[in-house]
Amino acid sequence: MEKKKKSLSFSESVNFMVDRALTVLDIDPGTSKSIKTCNSTIKVSFPVVINGSIEVFTGWRSVHSDHRLPSKGGIRYAPIVNQDEVEALAALMTYKCAIVDVPFGGSKGGLLIDPSKYSRDDLQKITRRFARELVRKGYLSPATNVPAPDMGTGEREMAWIADTYKHLHPEDINYLGCVTGKPVAHGGIRGRTEATGRGVVYAIREFFRNADDVKAAGLQPGLSDKRVVIQGLGNVGYYAAKLLDEEDNCKIIAIVERDGVLTNDRGIKIENVRCHINEHKTIKGFPDAQFSEDGASGLEIECDILIPAAMEAQITTDNANNIKTKLIVEAANGPVTFRADDILRQRGITILPDAYVNAGGVTVSYFEWVRNLSHIRFGRMERRHDEMRGAQMLKVIESMTGEKANDWMQAEIVRGADELDLVRSGLDDTMRNSYQQLKEVLDSHEEVKDFRTAAYVVAVQKLLRSYIDIGVY
> Residue 187, interface with ligand GLU (CB under 6 A)?
no
> Residue 182, interface with ligand GLU (CB under 6 A)?
no
> Residue 232, interface with ligand GLU (CB under 6 A)?
no
Nearest residue to ligand GLU on Cβ basis: 74
How many chain residues interact with ligand GLU (CB under 6 A)?
11
Cβ 366 to ligand GLU shortest distance, Å: 8
User: What's the start-to-end Cα distance of the chain, in Å?
Assistant: 45
Cross-strand partners of 291: 262
Cβ 124 to ligand GLU shortest distance, Å: 20
Q: Which is nearer to ligand GLU, 273 or 427 (CB)?
A: 427
Alpha-carbon separation of residue 265 from 3, 227, 449 (angstroms): 33, 8, 33
Q: Which is nearer to ligand GLU, 131 or 214 (CB)?
A: 131
Cβ 40 to ligand GLU shortest distance, Å: 18
Cβ 242 to ligand GLU shortest distance, Å: 19
* Residue from 39, 57, 63, 74 in contact with ligand GLU (CB under 6 A): 74
Backbone angles phi, psi at 27, to 5 degrees: -85, 140
> Residue 150, interface with ligand GLU (CB under 6 A)?
yes
Q: With CB under 6 A as the contact rule, which of the stretches 70-78, 244-252, 255-263, 409-417 interacts with ligand GLU?
A: 70-78
> For residue 349, what are the contacts with CB-CB under 8 A and spacing of at least 6?
323, 325, 326, 327, 328
CA distance 338 to 296: 19
Q: Which is nearer to ligand GLU, 144 or 272 (CB)?
A: 144
Q: Residue 342 belongs to what H/E stretch? A: helix 338-346
CA distance 385 to 383: 5
Q: With CB under 6 A as the contact rule, which of the stretches 122-130, 287-295, 358-366, 442-450 interacts with ligand GLU?
A: 358-366
Other residues' Cβ atoms within 10 Å of the Cβ of residue 293 = 9
> Residue 155, interface with ligand GLU (CB under 6 A)?
no
Q: Which is nearer to ligand GLU, 150 or 341 (CB)?
A: 150
> Residue 59, interface with ligand GLU (CB under 6 A)?
no
Query: Do 299 and 319 meet the contact criterion of CB atoms below 8 Å apart?
Result: yes
Query: Do 390 and 215 meet the contact criterion of CB atoms below 8 Å apart?
Result: no
Backbone angles phi, psi at 155, to 5 degrees: -65, -30
Cis amide prior to 147 (ω within 30 degrees): no
DSSP 315: B
Cβ 380 to ligand GLU shortest distance, Å: 23
Cβ 177 to ligand GLU shortest distance, Å: 12
CA distance 95 to 434: 12
* Residue from 36, 61, 64, 72 in contact with ligand GLU (CB under 6 A): 72
> Residue 73, interface with ligand GLU (CB under 6 A)?
yes
DSSP 265: T
Work out the angle at residue 426's Cα, subtended by the Cα atoms of residues 423 and 431, and round it to the nearest 5 degrees: 125
Q: Which is nearer to ligand GLU, 140 or 303 (CB)?
A: 140
DSSP 246-263: HTS--EEEEEEETTEEEE
> Residue 178, interface with ligand GLU (CB under 6 A)?
no
> Residue 180, interface with ligand GLU (CB under 6 A)?
yes
Q: Which is nearer to ligand GLU, 194 or 300 (CB)?
A: 194
> Residue 365, interface with ligand GLU (CB under 6 A)?
yes
* Residue from 234, 237, 260, 361 in contact with ligand GLU (CB under 6 A): 361
**Measuring CA to CA, which residue among 75, 70, 73 is closest to residue 103?**
70
CA distance 305 to 52: 50
> Residue 61, interface with ligand GLU (CB under 6 A)?
no
Q: With CB under 6 A as the contact rule, which of the stretches 11-19, 67-75, 264-272, 393-401 interacts with ligand GLU?
A: 67-75
Determine the distance from the C-alpha atom of residue 2 to the mean position of all C-alpha atoms in its chain, rounded to a whole number: 30
Site for ligand GLU in 279-338 (CB under 6 A): 333
Q: Which is nearer to ligand GLU, 70 or 298 (CB)?
A: 70
Q: Residue 391 belongs to what H/E stretch? A: helix 383-401
> Residue 434, interface with ligand GLU (CB under 6 A)?
no
Determine the distance from the C-alpha atom of residue 351 to the mean position of all C-alpha atoms in its chain, rounded to a whole number: 16
108 carries an active-site annotation: yes
Site for ligand GLU in 13-52 (CB under 6 A): none
Q: With CB under 6 A as the contact rule, which of the stretches 60-68, 72-80, 109-117, 249-257 interacts with ligand GLU?
A: 72-80
State the catalytic residue, choosing from 72, 96, 108, 326: 108
**Measuring CA to CA, which residue among 121, 126, 131 is closest to residue 165?**
131
Query: Do 252 and 274 meet the contact criterion of CB atoms below 8 Å apart?
Result: no
Cross-strand partners of 77: 111
The residues that touch ligand GLU, with contacts defined as CB under 6 A, are: 72-74, 148, 150, 180, 333, 358, 361-362, 365
What are the residue numbers of the active site? 108
